[in-house]
Amino acid sequence: MLRLDTLAKRYKTGDHALKGVSFTVEKGQVVGLIGPSGAGKSTLIRCINRLVEPTGGSIYLNDVDLAGLSGGELRRARRRIGMIFQEYALVERLTVMENVLSGRLGYVPFWRSLLRRFRQADVDKAFALLDRVGLSEHADKRADELSGGQRQRVGIARALEQDPELLLVDEPTASLDPKTSRQIMRLIMEICRESGLPAVINIHDVMLAKMFVDRIIGLTAGEVVFDGAPALLDDAVLTRIYGEEDWTAMQASAAEDAADAAATYGAAPPERVKEERMAGLA
């Protein structure tokens, strides 16, 4: 069970990203977090596992306040929280198997992770997860050889390899086509159902959210403005969340922006520039 109590985040720039967010996620419940870009969805998700430091409030996971932890305790808490990322965030130059096994990093001593000598039980689990997401044959491929949908499946396997008690999912479908998006969402939902895993999913696509999740929380300017069943999400509520503009048009452009970002974000600096930089130093 996850309980957030007046969680607040103010960045050094003065932006008030979260203004006292409180809600509780019961065991087995999948919560969809919607809201316009800049509403603080991403910050909220990252505050839960403290990739972003909250500036106020508390985060209770099974009655332990994560906000008060540090060092080794924080890492032991993080290893029970699986996270799935927007741009997959796989380590691209490692193999699929290494990426999945990296879910065990919080459990194994450093020498095991350095020599890639994981316990057989961990390897068994990783193979079983790869079977589950349908990627067993690709275990020894490098992550950057896979397609977007396949990479996100590896991301899911990595999160589950952690034996999580909670799943945090940050825009899992932002850089995928509509069909793959539905497949990925279905997979995440099935996995949550199978093991009664609670999850918080940031999602920009309202239709997709309504189709899959149990409960929707609408976030605007760092505050919860809606919390209820997907069926209660009508046009009036959406206007409250996204403002007066035509929210369907806005969604489409948001999806486009995300796709554009995905296209330009991944581009490496050209090789020539590097060569030249070296030449300049010679």
Partner 1 sequence: MPVSTTADGRKVWQRRTTGRQWAIWAGWFAFVVLLVWCWELMTRTTIWAFVYDAPRQISDLGNRMFPPRWSYIDRLIWPLWDTINIASLGTLLGIFIAVPIAFCAARNTTPSLYILRPIALFIIVASRSINSLIWALLLVSIIGPGLLAGIIAIGLRSIGFIGKLLYEAIEEIDESQVEAVRATGANGMQVLDYGIVPQVLPAFFGITVFRWDINIRESTILGLVGAGGIGLQLQSSLNTLAWPQVSLILLLILGTVLVSEWVSAKVRHAVI
Partner 2 sequence: MASVPPVAGRRWRRPPVLIKDRNTRWIVYGGLLIYLALAMSTVDVNWQRVADGLERGMRFINGFLQPDFTSRSTDIYRGLIESLTMTLTSTVVGVLISIPIGIGAARNIAPPVIYYICRSIIAISRTFQEVIIAIFFVVMFGFGPFAGFLTLAFSTIGFLGKLLAEDIEDIDEAQAEAIRATGASFMQLINYGVQPQVMPRLIGLSLYRLDINFRESAVIGIVGAGGIGATLNVAISRYEYDSAGAVLLIIIGIVMLAEYSSSYVRKWVQ
List contacts with partner 1 (CB under 8 A).
Answer: 49, 51, 72, 75-81, 83, 85-87, 89-94, 98, 102-107, 110, 113-114, 155, 158, 162, 168, 269, 271, 274, 277-278, 281-282
Strand partners for 228 = 216
> Residue 179 to residues 148, 152, 183, 263: CA-CA distances in angstroms?
12, 14, 6, 19
Residues 129-148 that bind partner 2 (CB under 8 A): 136-137, 139-140
Provide the b/e sequence for 141-159 (b: ≥16 CB within 10 Å).
ebbeebebbbbbbbbbbbb
Contact with partner 2 (CB under 8 A) among 49, 86, 95, 99: 95
What is the nearest approach in angstroms of partner 2 to the Cβ of residue 108? 14
Strand partners for 7 = 21
**Under a CB-based contact definition with an 8 Å cutoff, are residues 52 and 9 in contact?**
yes
269 in contact with partner 2 (CB under 8 A) = no
Instruction: Find which of partner 2, partner 1, none residue 276 binds, CB within 5 to 8 Å per kind.
Output: partner 2
Mask 175-214, x = binds partner 2 (CB under 8 A)? ----------------------------------------
DSSP state of 84: E
Spatial separation of the C-alpha atoms in residues 234 and 254, rounded to whole Å: 20
Contact with partner 2 (CB under 8 A) among 249, 268, 278, 282: 282
Instruction: Find which of partner 1, partner 2, none residue 140 binds, CB within 5 to 8 Å per kind.
Output: partner 2
**Under a CB-based contact definition with an 8 Å cutoff, are residues 6 and 20 in contact?**
yes
109 in contact with partner 2 (CB under 8 A) = no
What is the nearest approach in angstroms of partner 2 to the Cβ of residue 249? 34
Spatial separation of the C-alpha atoms in residues 157 and 166, rounded to whole Å: 14
What is the nearest approach in angstroms of partner 2 to the Cβ of residue 193? 22
Q: Considering only CA atoms, which of 87, 41, 37, 38 is closest in space to residue 250?
A: 37
**For partner 2, which stretch binds (CB under 8 A), given 84-92, 102-110, 213-221, 273-281?**
273-281
- SS3 category, 276: helix
Is the dihedral angle over the CA atoms 125, 126, 128, 133 positive or is it negative? positive
Quick one: 60 or 127, whose CB is closer to partner 2?
A: 127
Quick one: 256 or 276, whose CB is closer to partner 2?
A: 276
Quick one: 25 or 241, whose CB is closer to partner 1?
A: 25
User: Is residue 1 packed enough to be buried (19+ CB in 10 Å), middle (13-18) or exposed (0-12)?
Assistant: middle
Quick one: 249 or 278, whose CB is closer to partner 1?
A: 278
Point out which residues bind partner 2 (CB under 8 A). 95, 97-98, 101, 116, 118, 120, 123-124, 126-128, 136-137, 139-140, 272, 276, 279-280, 282
